[in-house]
Amino acid sequence: MIGCRRIKEICGIGELTSLVKLDLSWCESLEKIPDISYLDKLKELSMVDCQRIKEICGLGELTSLVKLNLSGCESLEKIPDISYLYKLKELSMVDCGRIKEICGLGELTSLVKLNLSKSEELEEIPDISNICELEELIMIGCRRIKEICGLGELTSLVKLDLSKCESLEKIPDISHLDKLEELSMVDCGRIQEIWGLGKLKSLVKLDLSSCESIEKIPDIFILGGLEELTLSGCKRIERISKVPTMCKLKYLDISGCEALNEIPHLSEFPNLFTVKLSRYHHRLVRGTLRNLILSVEKVSTTEISRLKKWQSHSGHARSLCSVLLHCLYTREGLQSTRNPLSIAFEYITKSDRMAQGARNFAYT
């Protein structure tokens, strides 16, 4: 019954005991549904954007349920205890803005994917250490959550996104999350340190943008598998650790890192494709650019012409472009170079006349 926008109620649905899948998504006028506790064969229940539904009687009795999606049920104030949903693998409650707690969540031992994003009134979640099979935990914009108990025990976790959890003050040691590939904590302004970050052997993508209270990050490059690192707006970070010879980093964003006074030589990143900098990083990177160019595999004539174009401007952009061009023209065997390179010079100060132009200086 997807998109039956004028339906206000569905009589008798609670008697359909053979029902396996029920999808009432986008039934925007639906105000209530009967008790569904007898639907013991139901495996999938989706009620996306059922904006007037305030409660779902019998939900906690659906022991065969595998997939539950209540995203966009913005009037939903509470759900029954769901601890008996032993078979549940996917739970999505995005934008359930009135939900304050989810009783029984910590007992869902079969859960693989959990998305609670934009549940802005959610104040706490139970200890989740028993959800050992969880692979994805997405909690973007859970603004009132202060801590996540049991997070460090989720050894099957592959993706973790806690972005915009503005009240989050700490997370447990995550050193045992051996399978974690993506970690995003954008705008977690109260987090000061992330214990165990340097031991995430499978980490490929790390985004700590605008984590303004973080002062240091561990030696994450010793793991060798990291491909994307975004530290944009981390105003207190002063240094980035040394780099091993096998580093796979392709993308580096350190724009807005105002306190940064030490970075590795960019030439130590043999796979580097994109770098984003701020104007005050000029003095840090100037000495590394020559070695960076020497490691580049392929520089096209188009890229060289763009460098020439920006060289005609004044200020930092001209200086940086001049260094790049000098390195290109003085290197032996230019045609034998090996990998593409993109450098974006991002000038944050609005008063800089080069700001708009420099933002466009990126060739990918």
H-helix segments, the chain: 282-294, 301-311, 315-330, 355-359
Q: What is the pLDDT of residues 284-296, one digit of tens each?
A: 665 455 445 444 4
The pLDDT of residue 22: 96
Using alpha carbons, list the distances in angstroms from residue 26 to 64, 114, 208, 328: 24, 21, 35, 58
Q: What is the pLDDT, as a whole number, of residue 12?
A: 85
Q: Please tell me the predicted confidence (pLDDT) of residue 200.
A: 92
* 309 pLDDT higher than 70: no
Give tens-digit pLDDT for 266-282: 767 777 777 777 766 65
Separation CA 79–CA 59 (nearest Å): 8
113 beta partners = 90, 136
* CA–CA separation, 101 and 77 (whole Å): 9
Chain segment 227-244, per-residue pLDDT in tens: 999 999 999 998 887 666
Which CA distances in Å does 86 have to 63, 130, 305, 314, 356? 6, 12, 62, 65, 55
Q: Dihedral (C-alpha) 250, 251, 252, 255: value to the nearest 10 degrees?
A: 160
Tokens of 165: 């959890």
| Number of Cβ within a 10 Å radius of residue 142 | 25
Q: CB-based contacts of 193: which residues, under 8 Å, 6+ apart? A: 214, 215, 216
Q: Which DSSP letter does residue 207 get? A: E
Q: DSSP secondary-structure letter at 178?
A: T
The percentage of the chain sitting over the pLDDT mark of 70, rounded to a whole number, equals 73
Backbone CA torsion sign across 268, 274, 277, 279: positive
Residue range 12-30: average pLDDT? 92
pTM of the predicted model as reported, rounded to 2 decimal places: 0.82
Q: Is 214 exposed, middle or buried (0-12, 13-18, 19+ CB in 10 A)?
A: buried
User: What is the average per-residue pLDDT within 182-195?
Assistant: 96
216 vs 194: CA distance, rounded Å = 9
Phi and psi (nearest 5°) for 261? -125, 5
- Which one is predicted more confidently, 361 or 127? 127
Share of the chain above pLDDT 90, in %: 55
Contact 60, 84 (CB under 8 A): yes
14-18, 186-190, 245-249, 268-272 — most confident range: 186-190
Listed by start position, the domains of the chain span 1-100, 265-364
Correct CATH for 1-100 of 3.30.497.10, 3.80.10.10, 3.40.640.10, 2.60.120.430: 3.80.10.10
- The pLDDT score that the predictor gives to residue 276 is 79
Look at residue 355 in the predicted model and tell me its pLDDT.
Answer: 34
Average pLDDT, the chain: 81
CA distance 296 to 284: 19
